[in-house]
Structure 1
């Protein structure tokens, strides 16, 4: 990926843990590396195919000047988010914020915080088998779209499937969506749980009936195993009600552990079911 660099942008602002810092202010020095594809801009000499570094510089200045925070970490997060949301061609931003002569009672040149933030692609399974199933699924899609750190890219058709897991209950309506997000996997999980709770989801019976079920299937090519979140989803390759809608929107997405595409996993599963 190509890079556009903004080096040592000086901004006077009011950030710090001490009241006098928030009142008097001081100089901050920011540098940003914008990850973007400059190929078309280079071939056409058209600015519209690139990222206007002057506009980005003024956006950084606006965010840093017009807010007051205690921590450099907060300044960095807010600035990176503003850049990524404002410039779709930027896939990642590396940001460094330096604070010269920080008041720590010792001689130093600067303290600094450096972060890298960027867009990720996640695939989410949707399911419902209580009440107005289609309404619950459509509302979940809309709520993810309304989440400031998320953009819904594709949504599959919804299909009716038999319940999974041996619990007697109504048929499910299932689907899948592709999501562009700035959220970490854990933050995304928390957001999905919030949406489920807003649909009055109750976790009473394992594999039992539910108004709304939202699961992270894949997150980039991440392999993650924690007590509350496993990515890729541990049973996605065994569930046709997951693979059928996922194959509709991402047939060539490859499972980072099995090495198979979604289409290949679906074909293998259907072959086993027919044998």
Structure 2
């Protein structure tokens, strides 16, 4: 990924733990590295194919001057999120905020907080086999697209599938969607559970009927195993109701544990 760097942007703003800092204000120094693909702009020589770093500088200054945060950590987190939301071509940002006049009663050059944030590519499987199945899936897609720090890229066709797991029940309506998110996996999982709960999802019978089922299939190329989440989804390569819609929108997607593409996994299962 290519980079545009902004170094030592001075901003006078009102952030700090002490009341005087919130009233009188002080200097903050912003440095940012924007991660993006500059190849198209390099070939076209057109500003609209890149990110206007002047606009980014003015945006950061206006954002920092128009709000008050107690902690540098919070100022950095919200500034990074705002830049990612405002400038779609920016895929990631490394942001450092220095506070040269930090009131600690000792001589120092500055204190700073430095963070890295960015968009992650996530595939989520959706399923329902109770009530108005299509409405449950439609509502889930809408809820995900409305989540702060999330944006839907594409949704596969809805397909009818037979139930999985041996429990006698109605057929399912399934799909898979591709989404960009700024949320970390554990936070995203919590949000998925909240959306399921809003759809009156009950977890009583393993592989039993449900109003809504949302599973993270891939999160970038992350390999993760915790008590609550395994990535990639440990059963996805065995499930046609996942691979059939997934191969429609992302046959190129790579399974980092198995070392095969979605199309290869789909062909093997078929």
- TM-score interval, smaller chain: over 0.9
* Residue correspondences, number: 270
Whether the aligned pair in 1 keeps the contact of 2:2 and 2:37 (CA below 8 Å) is yes
Measure how far apart 1:45 and its partner are: 2.3
Matching residue of 2:215: 215
The question of 1:161 aligning with 2:164 is answered: no
Flag structure 2 segments of 5+ consecutive residues without an equivalent.
none
Whether the aligned pair in 2 keeps the contact of 1:63 and 1:78 (CA below 8 Å) is no
Measure how far apart 1:176 and its partner are: 0.4
**CA–CA separation in structure 2 for the residues paired with 1:72 and 1:61:** 15
Matching residue of 1:50: 50
Give the direction of change, closer, same or farther, for the CA distance of 1:28–1:189 in structure 2 (3 Å limit): same
Measure how far apart 1:103 and its partner are: 1.5
Matching residue of 1:102: 102
| Secondary structure of 1:108's aligned partner | coil
**CA–CA separation in structure 1 for the residues paired with 2:42 and 2:238:** 46
**CA–CA separation in structure 2 for the residues paired with 1:28 and 1:162:** 59
**CA–CA separation in structure 1 for the residues paired with 2:126 and 2:40:** 37
Whether the aligned pair in 2 keeps the contact of 1:128 and 1:137 (CA below 8 Å) is yes
Matching residue of 2:118: 118
The question of 1:141 aligning with 2:141 is answered: yes
**CA–CA separation in structure 2 for the residues paired with 1:46 and 1:159:** 42
**CA–CA separation in structure 1 for the residues paired with 2:176 and 2:56:** 35
| Secondary structure of 1:168's aligned partner | coil
Matching residue of 1:177: 177
Matching residue of 1:82: 82
The question of 1:5 aligning with 2:8 is answered: no
**CA–CA separation in structure 2 for the residues paired with 1:44 and 1:166:** 57
Matching residue of 1:23: 23
Matching residue of 2:127: 127
The question of 1:266 aligning with 2:260 is answered: no
Measure how far apart 1:237 and its partner are: 0.7
With normalisation by structure 2, the TM-score equals 0.97
Alignment of 1:186-225 (within 5 A): 186-225=186-225
Measure how far apart 1:43 and its partner are: 2.9
Matching residue of 1:66: 66
**CA–CA separation in structure 1 for the residues paired with 2:43 and 2:208:** 57
With normalisation by structure 1, the TM-score equals 0.96
Whether the aligned pair in 1 keeps the contact of 2:28 and 2:97 (CA below 8 Å) is yes
Measure how far apart 1:25 and its partner are: 1.3
Measure how far apart 1:236 and its partner are: 0.5
State the 4+ residue runs in structure 1 displaced beyond 4 angstroms. Answer: none
Structure 1 residues 49-107: Cα deviation after superposition (integer angstroms, max 9, x where no partner): 11111110011011111111111111111111111111111111110000113112322
Matching residue of 1:237: 237
**CA–CA separation in structure 1 for the residues paired with 2:252 and 2:53:** 35
Matching residue of 1:151: 151
**CA–CA separation in structure 2 for the residues paired with 1:206 and 1:214:** 14
Measure how far apart 1:141 and its partner are: 0.6
Flag structure 1 segments of 5+ consecutive residues without an equivalent.
271-275
Measure how far apart 1:41 and its partner are: 2.1
Aligned-residue CA RMSD in angstroms?
Answer: 1.0
Measure how far apart 1:202 and its partner are: 1.3
**CA–CA separation in structure 2 for the residues paired with 1:54 and 1:170:** 57
Structure 1 residues 232-262: Cα deviation after superposition (integer angstroms, max 9, x where no partner): 0010011111111111111111100001111
Measure how far apart 1:19 and its partner are: 1.5
